[in-house]
């Protein structure tokens, strides 16, 4: 029988979750929401004032109170006061590169199966938004190695992640460098690799070498051309299961008395996601029984071709 897991009593369950409890303290960030739903995020500093179009508020009026209260500004504006949630923090924090939106970070954590104690690699770190979700999911006993090739973006990521967790997360290893050059320097197999970059297909070979058998690669790409290229490159490699591409659409609803209808606004498109699992060394997935769609790999197709594609199959044109 495997050893029963040991419960570490030196790490409380909520440690390094980025969640703070108790009265608001100087140095913490708060999120104020006004009566029109506008949000203001700022750091609490003793003796400082927050100004808005409805007068001002003393930070000292907020410090020392339990979050979840309404405060009135000098000109009579009412503000709801909470600490920001992770999903609120990442869309309001300073950005270098574009961030992974919370709806997609949630999909990545679930569908790339990020678990407590996992060894995870991501590239690029960008602004550190996804790093926060991954660190929360792996916890203090996991490991997240984040590669970022632009030093100035790595600095932004470091500041954001440190601010969110209130210190240097013990599971985080942020490295400046290109994934293709740096990933081979890791000596232990990796459970999960998340790629959020312009050209993830350039990384498929090093990802395959670094992933443990059964490990998952997950790519996040904004355009259909990128989606096609990463899926076909994973297929052509031959050492991954059939890639699973999808996107998630989230629509909020207006619910008020008899007026129950979809909201007028929704985020129509953020990006596509693709996952595939690493086969054991030397193993290939079963040969596909289904033929490719007519013309899928016709004369206009110039990308990588599946390793098991019989000659002439899928080459037909769709016209005529
Ligand atoms: C869209 S941003 C990542 C955003 C990040 N996931 C977040 O949620 O904040 C893409 C980043 O990938 C970096 N990048 C692109 N190719 C890379 C590579 N081969 N190795 C390391 N970083 C790379 C870019 O410099 C950029 O900062």
Length of the chain: 320
pLDDT of residue 312: 59
pLDDT digits (tens, 9 = 90+) for 166-184: 899 999 999 999 999 999 9
Domain 29-84 indexed as CATH 2.120.10.30: no
pTM of the model: 0.92
Q: What percent of the chain has pLDDT over 70?
A: 92
pLDDT of residue 96: 86
Which of 6-15, 185-194, 245-254 is least confident? 6-15
Cα three-residue angle 312-316-320, rounded to 5 degrees: 155
Q: Tell which one of 136, 197, 223, 230 to mutate to probe ligand 1, the residue whose CB is within 8 A of the most ligand atoms.
A: 197
Residues of the chain with CATH 3.40.50.150: 95-277
Which CATH number is 95-277 given?
3.40.50.150
Closest ligand 1 atom, CA of 127? 9
102 contacts: CB under 8 Å, gap ≥ 6: 86, 87, 90, 91, 133
pLDDT digits (tens, 9 = 90+) for 77-113: 999 999 999 999 999 898 988 999 999 999 999 999 9
Mean pLDDT of 12-28: 87
Kindly tell me if the per-residue pLDDT of 320 is higher than 60: no
- Parallel, antiparallel, or unpaired for β 143-148 and 172-176? parallel
Smallest CA-to-CA distance from 61 within 76, 48, 75, 42 is with 48
pLDDT of residue 139: 95
Residues of the chain with CATH 3.10.330.20: 29-84
- For residue 215, give the 3-state DSSP assignment: strand
Which residues approach ligand 1 with their CB closer than 6 A?
A: 97-100, 123-124, 126-130, 147-150, 153, 178-180, 196-198
pLDDT of residue 23: 97
Mean pLDDT of 301-320: 70
How far, CA to CA in Å, does 22 sit from each of 33, 50, 68, 139, 140? 20, 22, 11, 22, 22
pLDDT of residue 25: 95
Name the residue at shortest CA distance from atom 3 of ligand 1. Answer: 126
Kindly tell me if the per-residue pLDDT of 278 is higher than 80: yes
Phi, psi for 138 (deg, rounded to 5): -80, -25
The two structure tokens encoding residue 13: 């369950």
Chain mean pLDDT for the chain: 92
Closest ligand 1 atom, CA of 180? 19
Peptide bond before 124: cis, by omega within 30 degrees of 0? yes
Kindly tell me if the per-residue pLDDT of 317 is higher than 70: no
> With bands split at pLDDT 50, 70 and 90, how would you rate the model's confidence at 62?
very high
> With bands split at pLDDT 50, 70 and 90, how would you rate the model's confidence at 211?
very high
- For residue 54, give the 3-state DSSP assignment: coil
Looking at per-residue pLDDT, the higher value among 320 and 132 belongs to 132
pLDDT of residue 1: 42
Q: Tell which one of 86, 125, 128, 182 to mutate to probe ligand 1, the residue whose CB is within 8 A of the most ligand atoms.
A: 125
């Amino acid at each position: 029988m495997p050893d029963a897991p040991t419960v570490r009593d030196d790490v409380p369950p909520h440690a390094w979750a980025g969640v703070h409890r108790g009265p608001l303290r100087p140095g913490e960030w708060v999120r104020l929401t006004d009566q029109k739903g506008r949000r203001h995020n700022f750091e609490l500093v003793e003796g400082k004032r927050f100004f808005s179009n409805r007068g001002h508020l003393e930070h000292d009026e907020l410090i020392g109170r339990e979050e979840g209260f309404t405060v009135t500004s000098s000109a009579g504006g009412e503000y709801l006061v909470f600490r920001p949630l992770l999903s609120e923090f990442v869309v309001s924090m300073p950005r270098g590169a574009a961030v992974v939106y919370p709806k997609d970070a949630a999909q990545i954590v679930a569908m790339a199966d990020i678990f407590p104690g996992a060894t995870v690699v991501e590239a690029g770190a960008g602004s550190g938004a996804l790093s926060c979700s991954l660190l929360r999911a792996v916890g203090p006993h996991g490991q997240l190695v984040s590669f970022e090739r632009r030093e100035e973006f790595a600095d932004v990521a470091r500041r954001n992640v440190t601010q969110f967790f209130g210190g240097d997360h013990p599971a985080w290893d942020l490295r400046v460098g290109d994934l293709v050059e740096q990933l081979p320097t890791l000596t232990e197999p990796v459970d999960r690799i998340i790629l959020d970059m312009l050209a993830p297909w350039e990384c498929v070979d090093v990802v395959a070498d670094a992933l443990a058998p059964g490990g998952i690669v997950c790519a996040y790409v904004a355009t259909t051309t990128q989606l096609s290229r990463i899926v076909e490159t994973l297929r052509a490699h031959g050492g991954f299961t059939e890639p699973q591409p999808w996107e998630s659409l989230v629509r909020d609803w207006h619910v008020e008395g008899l007026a129950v209808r979809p909201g007028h606004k929704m985020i129509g498109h953020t990006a596509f996601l693709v996952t595939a699992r690493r086969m054991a060394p030397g193993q290939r997935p079963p040969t596909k029984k289904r033929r490719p769609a007519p013309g899928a790999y016709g004369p206009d197709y110039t990308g990588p071709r599946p390793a098991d594609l019989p000659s002439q199959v899928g080459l037909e044109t769709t016209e005529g």
